Amino acid sequence: MGKLIVEGPVRLTGSVRVSGSKNSALPILAAALLCDERVVLENVPNLMDIHTMIEILSAAGCRVFFENGVAIIDPPTNPCTDIPYELVRKMRASFNVLGPLAAKFQKASVSLPGGCSIGVRPVDYHLEGLQKLGFSIKIEHGIVTAEMEKKIDEAIISLPFPSVGATEHIMTTAAILDGTHTVIENAAMEPEIEDLAIFLNRAGCRVLGAGTKRIEVFGVKKAHGCIHKIIPDRIEAGTYIIAIAATMGDAIVEGLDVSHLISLFDVLKNSGVSLSQLDRDKVRVSMDRRPDPIKIQVTPYPGFPTDLQPQIIVFLSKAQGTSTVIETVFKSRFQHVDELRRFGAKIEVSDGTAIVYGVERLSGAQVSATDLRAAAALVIAGLIANGTTSVNEVDQIFRGYEDIVQKLSNLSAVIEYQK
Ligand code: EPZ
């Protein structure tokens, strides 16, 4: 595992271009398994997780070509519906190939996803949904096998929590259950769900209501090929916006979709950040002082995203007062707090809530990343701290941030990757 050496403090200036969304490309790559003809995806980010999903599609028998942000997926000639453990273990999103493979080839097996540092991440909503769609589910030796058992005319699936992955998994699987009318209630409303629905409808499927709490899918006989451009990565964009504000910089973020970041913009404006939209996909971020303290509740979209929670805590660690951050999606997603304390941050965590007592300065430290968003937060802390910071076990940051060393260097950061 390598490390990032970051010199601080620095004010970020210049401009940065946002890449395509990891969390849109992954479910759309899984959905490409439904298609009988070539699929061409544009604006696909060059990330470790994308390569993992491409390996899984190849293991399923697809021919996949990926270069310069374009992924071309040809349907399998000899499909394989047993996906090897070592691939699924690497990335939870791999689990979402189970349903499309079973819908297309009647039966499929995928290993249960591992846990991860942001908490226990069960897949019970996924499995209950597949059962309501007419699949039998068997779990043996950590392998889940889904097999088409009976044709369902109508399936009403109410999610106990608006799970992003479960919504995507059920929507994708239902898309080619010919003649089945599926309703997903309490569905997740993230932009990535809408992007997936646009892809499925371009491939000849019939998905209505994506982006709202109620999604309807009218299953069709087959899904054909299509061309689709992946939406910008709102979490990558939000990470850079927070980094520019935290360093009291003045820089441009372009290639984003501003409408995906309303909750972040509200929070930052309330803490004193100046955000001016220069174009549909371009925003100028500037900050000339320590932020005012704020209270944030992390909730499913359109609320403040859990994937920006570690980063906003770093931003608030130097606020002029005490802030509160309540995490309601992954209650134990505070592993980064112990590491932030090593910079001199004053943060208390109890029962899913972080109380952040703003301090005047942080000092550079040796720290270790626990997940990809925590890694990004520790890099931001290194940018605002006095002295040198080493973010160790940092390779997981490349799962979600394309060219992050180059992009931060272009923003005047002094940062180096060491193996
Ligand atoms: C997606 O994960 C994202 N990953 C995560 O981003 C993101 O943090 C999360 O949604 C929440 O927005 C991708 O899109 C690839 P969930 P997912 O199902 O789908 C519980 C990143 O850094 N739950 O919405 O796994 C679960 O435990 C990653 O890019 C069940 O109980 O998240 C959690 O508490 C990290 N049973 C809550 O729901 C289930 O069957 C939300 O999880 C499914 C979920």
Domain at 3-18+232-418, CATH class? alpha beta
327 contacts 306 by C-beta, under 8 angstroms: yes
Q: Are 260 and 234 in contact (CB under 8 A)?
A: yes
Residues catalogued as catalytic: 116
As a whole number of angstroms, the distance between CA 120 and CA 42 comes to: 33
Q: Mean pLDDT over residues 31-43, rounded?
A: 98
Most informative mutation of 169, 329, 398 for ligand 1 (most atoms within 8 A of CB): 329
Choice between 121 and 210, residue whose per-residue pLDDT is larger: 210
- Tell me if 370 CB under 6 Å of ligand 1: no
pLDDT tier, 220 (very low <50, low <70, confident <90, very high otherwise): very high
Is residue 329 lining ligand 1, measured as CB closer than 6 Å? yes
What pLDDT, in 10s, does the model give residues 176-194?
999 999 999 999 999 999 9
pLDDT in tens, 82-134: 998 888 888 899 999 999 999 999 999 999 986 567 777 899 999 999 999 99
For the chain, domain boundaries = 3-18+232-418, 22-229
Pocket test for ligand 1, best of 121, 159, 173, 235 (most atoms within 8 A of CB): 121
Q: Average pLDDT, stretch 45-63?
A: 97
For a ligand 1 pocket test, name from 21, 23, 159, 192 the mutation site with the most ligand atoms within 8 angstroms of its C-beta. Answer: 23
CATH 3.65.10.10 for the 22-229 domain, yes or no: yes
- Of all residues in the chain, the percent with pLDDT exceeding 70 is 99
SS3 for 415?
Answer: strand
For the Cβ of 373 lying below 6 angstroms from any atom of ligand 1, the answer is: yes
pLDDT at 173 over 80: yes
pLDDT value, residue 56: 96
Bridge partners, 250 (sequence order) = 13, 286
The per-residue pLDDT for range 363-403, each reduced to its tens digit, is 999 999 999 999 999 999 999 999 999 999 999 999 999 99
Are the beta carbons of 180 and 174 closer than 8 angstroms? yes
Q: Which has the closest alpha carbon to 34: 141, 108, 110?
A: 108
Nearest CA to ligand 1 atom 42: 163
User: Does 3-18+232-418 match 22-229 in CATH topology?
Assistant: yes
The first and second tokens of residue 227, run together, are 């061309």
- Which residue has the least CA distance to atom 19 on ligand 1? 165
pLDDT for 245: 98
Cβ–ligand 1 contact at 238 (below 6 Å): no
- Residue pLDDT, tens place only, 250-302: 999 999 999 999 999 999 999 999 999 999 899 999 999 999 999 999 999 99
**The predicted structure's pLDDT at residue 115:** 59
| Contact 3 CB / ligand 1 (< 6 Å) | no
The verdict on the CB of residue 164 being under 6 Å from ligand 1 is: yes
| pLDDT of res. 390 | 98
